Structures are given as C-alpha cells and as structure tokens.
Amino acid sequence: MNYYIDIRLRPDPEFPATILMGALYGKLHRALVALGADDIGVSFPEHGLRPRTLGNVLRLHGSAAALDRLMAQHWLTGMRDHIVMTDISEVPANVHHRAVRRRQFKTNAERLRRRRARRHGETLEQARESIPDSVERKVNLPFARIRSQSTGETFSLFIEHEEIQAEPVDGAFNRYGLSAGATVPWF
C-alpha cells in the first residue's frame, strides 16, 4: 500500500455529490470484479458523520503495479467530466493507518418479519408479535448507493473508517476495496 490515486468529484449543478460518488464507486466495484483484484483498498479522506457523507474524494491504495492494472481497465468511462484525478503517487512518509470496512445492518422490521416467517414456518402475524417495530434503528454511517450486478437492486453500502493506528496491517480487500482487518495509509 505504498501508492495511491485521489479521484475528486467536480461540483455539478445537475447531480449531487452523493449520486456521483455512488456512480464512481459502482464503476470501481465492477473494475475490481473484472480484475479479480484483492490488493486495492479505498478510503474517503473527506468522510464525515455529521452530516453523513463520504465526501468528494475517493482515494485508491495499492502498489504501483496494482493501480496501473486498475487504470488500464478504462473503468472511468462516462465519469471523466465529473472528476479530477491525480497521477499514481507515493504515500507520504510517517502516515497513520486505518481499516475501512463495510458495515451491514439488519434494521428493517418488515424484512426481518418476512424472514422469520419463512424460516420458522410462522404467519406474518406471529412474526410481527416476535419482532417489534423497535428493532429498527437509525444508522449513522456514511454510505454509497450501489446497484447490485447480480440482483439489479440498489442498496446502501455503509462504510466505516475504524480507529487510526500507528502500524499497518496486511491483508486482502474485497471487490469494494474494503477490509475488516487490513489497513490503508491515512493522511
């Protein structure tokens, strides 16, 4: 993880940054799937919790060779008018590290009730008695709206930046560039 590329969204009067970031991140996901890459991580240096935002910068982390392979895929087709991108650059010295991971929440009471009814052979009414509305909770993490390639459905991909740490942790990244354990440089 000694190299990075910053991709910054340009302000656009027609599309909010959240829509553009979702489109950009979806394109990255498809490129990582096509490559079969598990050596490219992401971070969102401008992310925030109040307001919940991933910010306007998607930072890609990896070796120079891994980032070269990714950029050779021409995965940014259709986004070039909406972004400004740096060249592949070396990570500065003496940086911190952090894991950036996906968080999944089972918060929709109706969905949980349907699932319980199906799994336990109950009626929806019986499941409703077992699962109160109070199980729903508000999630306070930033997210990207992503369209699933397998189901065609749009879902919220919640992203958590874990605590900053002094030492890097090696490991693999999923096809969203996220990892529950491996870290990326944080600067």
Q: How far apart are CA 107 and CA 134, in angstroms?
A: 10
Q: How far apart are CA 74 and CA 133, in angstroms?
A: 46
Condensed to tens digits (0 to 9), the pLDDT of residues 34-56 reads: 999 999 999 999 999 888 899 99
In a domain, 136, yes or no: no
DSSP sequence for 14-57: SS-HHHHHHHHHHHHHHHHHHHT--S-EEE-TT-EETTEE--SE
Condensed to tens digits (0 to 9), the pLDDT of residues 108-155 reads: 778 788 888 999 999 988 988 888 877 766 678 999 998 877 778 888
The answer, yes or no, to whether residue 73 has pLDDT greater than 90, is yes
Residue 40: give its domain's CATH number: 3.30.70.2540
Residue of 29, 61, 97, 161 marked catalytic:
29
* Residue 88: half-sphere exposure toward Cβ, Cα within 13 Å: 16
- For the chain, the domain total comes to 1
Give me the residues paired with residue 61 across strands.
Answer: 4, 41
Phi, psi of 136, deg, nearest 5: -70, 135
pLDDT of residue 58: 99
Identify whether 161 is a catalytic site residue: no
In a domain, 163, yes or no: yes
In a domain, 100, yes or no: yes
In a domain, 38, yes or no: yes
In a domain, 154, yes or no: no
In a domain, 127, yes or no: no
> Residue 90 sits in which domain range?
3-104+159-186
